[in-house]
Amino acid sequence: LFRSGLSPLSADHLRMVQRMADCARSGGRFANAVYRGFGKTSVALGMAIWAVLYGRRKFILLLGSRAQHANKMMQRLQTEFYNNDLLLEDFPEVCYPVRMLEGINNRVNGQTLDGERTRISWTDKEVQLPRVPGAASAGVVVRVAGITGSIRGASVMIDGAKVRPDLVIVDDPQTDDSARSPSQVLTRENVLNGAVLGLAGPGKRIAVIMPCT
C-alpha cells in the first residue's frame, strides 16, 4: 500500500497481517508483540486503509501512545489517499474526490457528485470517506486519538444514525518513558481494559488489534 515501500515481508509480518485481517473481517481481540523496527505503524495504517476501502468496518479508531503520535498517523493516512497512485487506480471512488480537494479542506462542503454532496470530511483528527453510490467505503470513518486522551463515548453520525467504533487499532500504547513507570503502565492497562473495550457500547464486543513491543 505505501509508496515508500517496505522490506520484503517476513513470516512474522505475514502472520500479524493475517491476524489483523481476520480481526477486521470477523472480530476478535489480539495483541501481537514484535521487535522495534518491525514496522508496526506502517502495518497498522495499511490494515486501517484496507479495512475502510473494502468496507469491512464503519468506524475505525486509531490510537497512538500520545496525541502527537496519533496526529502523525492521520497525516500519513491522508497522504496515502491523496498521493498514492496505485490506490487511485484501484479505488478512484475514494482517492479521486480526495485529490479534488487539492489540499483545501474547506472544499468538503461544496463537493458534489452528479448533483449530490459527497459529504466527505477531512480534518487533522478524522476522515469520513465520500458517499459514492456502490462504493463499499461510502461514509466510513477513521478517527485518531492518543490512548490517554478523551476516548470514552466516541461516536459519529453516519447517514443519520449514531455509530460507535467497531474496530480499534492500538499502535503500541507505550512510550519509552511510560514503559519505565509502573504507574503509567497500569494506567494504560486500565484504559485498554476499560475505556477501549467499552467503546462499542453496553453488552457489545468490540474488535481490537494491538501491535506492540
At 74 the pLDDT is 93
pLDDT reading at 6 higher than 70: no
At 159 the pLDDT is 83
* pTM (2 d.p.): 0.87
Question: Cα–Cα distance between 114 and 136 in angstroms, integer?
Answer: 18
Task: Give the up-direction half-sphere exposure of residue 162: CA atoms within 13 A in the CB hemisphere.
Answer: 6
Q: How confident is the model at residue 193 (pLDDT cuts 50, 70, 90)?
A: confident
Segment holding 29, helix H or strand E: strand 29-33
The three three-digit cell numbers of residue 185, written as one number: 503502565
Closest to 93 (Cα-Cα) out of 126, 67, 120? 120
Question: Cα–Cα distance between 125 and 73 in angstroms, integer?
Answer: 10
Give the rounded distance of the alpha carbon of 46 from its chain centre.
9
